[in-house]
Structure 1
Amino acid sequence: MVLLQAQGGNGMFSIIMMVGMIAVFYFFMIRPQQKKSQDQKKMVEELKEGDEIVTFGGLHGKIVSKDETTVTISAGGGARLTFEKTSIARKK
């Protein structure tokens, strides 16, 4: 009888530990990544002509025109390059 009670308590402890690990994983890894993704999407939607940006490849430039999925940036020296909006890392 005592042996059965000890095993039952151990099973409950294991379940509590698993739930705790899942909660920690969610709050320290999944949730911050979702927040970062939402912030990136919002920043890309709010881009306008004249904004200075940096692409994920490290190219710095100023937006000269945009459409639904792409932006054209002036990268200096008269160069105009077209990028997908999703390739923009941040505003300067």
Structure 2
Amino acid sequence: MHLIQILLPLYDNEGKPFGQELFLRVRDELSERFGGITTYMRSPARGLWKETRETTVHDDIVIYEVMTDTLDRDWWQGYRQQLTVIFRQALLIVRVSEVQLL
């Protein structure tokens, strides 16, 4: 079983919030394709990273998760590229972990 997590920013690089319709569209696409989705939207997570030695950048993000028995890497890479364009990001994180259900 694979757990795929998508980290989506709440704001563009100028600080303008993305419209709710973008998040609903991603939710609906993933729910339809994988039969369900978990969204973490109420308390956005904050990502911090060093862009340079002197500059720390942050993003407020939401996390979407889906689980699937098979991992279609080509589909996920294409989907990540689509989301990168839609959310106007230089890099958008989509990560996968193998999980075992207890």
Q: TM-score, normalised by structure 2?
A: 0.22
Name the larger-Rg structure: 1
Query: Which structure's relative contact order is higher, taking Cα pairs within 8 Å and 6+ residues apart?
Result: 2
